[in-house]
Amino acid sequence: MNFLYELKSFIFPKNVLNFNTASPVHPTSRGIPVPTVKLKEGSKSLSVSAEVCPTKAIQIVSETEVRFDYGKCLQCGLCTECSDGKLRNSGFIYTFALSRDELKVTYISGRMEKVSDLPFPLTANQLKFRELTKKRGFLYREVAAAGNNTVESELNASFNSVFDSEREGVRCVASPKHADAIVFSGPVGKNMVAPLETAWEVIAEPKALIACGTEAVSGGLFPMGKRPAEPDLYISGDPPRPDVILQGFRLLMGRFSFRFQEALHKILENE
């Protein structure tokens, strides 16, 4: 039986995720909530959704304007259930960006504001990190900064044969002294401020700080603790899937051309 299985794996193509054809919308995931055409009737009636949101990711600005902070969103779907059809789960899961503001989206009368088509301005550190890692990939030390281990589970899964992180040259190492980047999860509880800072300090320049998971991006359900620096990459989701994490890493290395707001705008406008 084992022999037949081995033979099958030689004959049939490998079941490895193809990054170039992977979609930001996943058919079986809830993804982030987005407005439906019904929101044109007015956003004030979304007050129940805003109230029920456990992380207060929805802000109703006026009768016509509503703001979503997808860096706070757990993708739990609670807001859509009580929105009287004005919100829906989009299945959009690529909630990662090189700046925190990119994850904040404003909808006017149910339509997403037009996004800038200018190239994203990278910080000096992001540019240097890109130069270092575009060809060779990077090594990271993971720091669980008061998280709940879900991000760690997904990071573990990113090394399995479906996602295969190492084909991108991305590997987890035991010591920050051997790392190019820190990937941290959790809202950085007070007991984890110093360990995270120490891990960050010992890495040589250029280096990158990667906030992985909604808690690391915004605190999520908890107050956000002190980070050693402004992250170079924010990957939201509670937890983000392995393919989302890896696409985020590819964006940071300059191997994937992606802007969160641009991709979301395109998908919503084409519906």
Interaction site with ligand SF4 (CB under 6 A) = 33, 53-55, 57-58, 73-79
Report the nearest approach of ligand SF4 to the CB of residue 10 (Å): 44
Burial of 240 (0-12, 13-18, 19+ CB in 10 A): buried
Closer to ligand SF4 by CB, 79 or 253: give it.
Answer: 79
Nearer to ligand SF4, 105 or 245 (CB): 105
Q: Are 35 and 74 in contact (CB under 8 A)?
A: no
- Nearest to ligand SF4 of 105, 199 (CB atom): 105
Question: By CB neighbour count within 10 A (0-12 exposed, 13-18 middle, 19+ buried), where does 253 fall?
Answer: buried
CB of 204 to ligand SF4, least distance (A): 37
- Residue 185 β-bridge partners: 144
* Least distance (Å) between residue 214 CB and ligand SF4: 8
Q: Give start and end residues of each alpha helix (H) in the chain.
A: 2-11, 47-52, 78-81, 124-133, 150-157, 193-201, 214-218, 242-253, 260-269
Cβ-based nearer residue to ligand SF4, 53 or 196: 53
How near is the Cβ of 86 to ligand SF4 at its closest, in Å?
12
User: Tokens for 152?
Assistant: 């760690």
What is the closest distance, in whole angstroms, from the C-beta atom of residue 101 to ligand SF4 in the complex? 17
Question: Of the two residues 79 and 192, which places its CB atom closer to ligand SF4 in the complex?
Answer: 79
Cα separation of 184 and 144, whole Å?
A: 6
**What is the smallest separation between the CB atom of 91 and ligand SF4, expressed in angstroms?**
12
How far apart CA 218 and CA 55 sit, in angstroms, is 9
Q: Which two tokens stand for residue 151?
A: 């991000």
CA distance 238 to 241: 9
**Residue (137 or 237) nearer to ligand SF4, CB:** 237
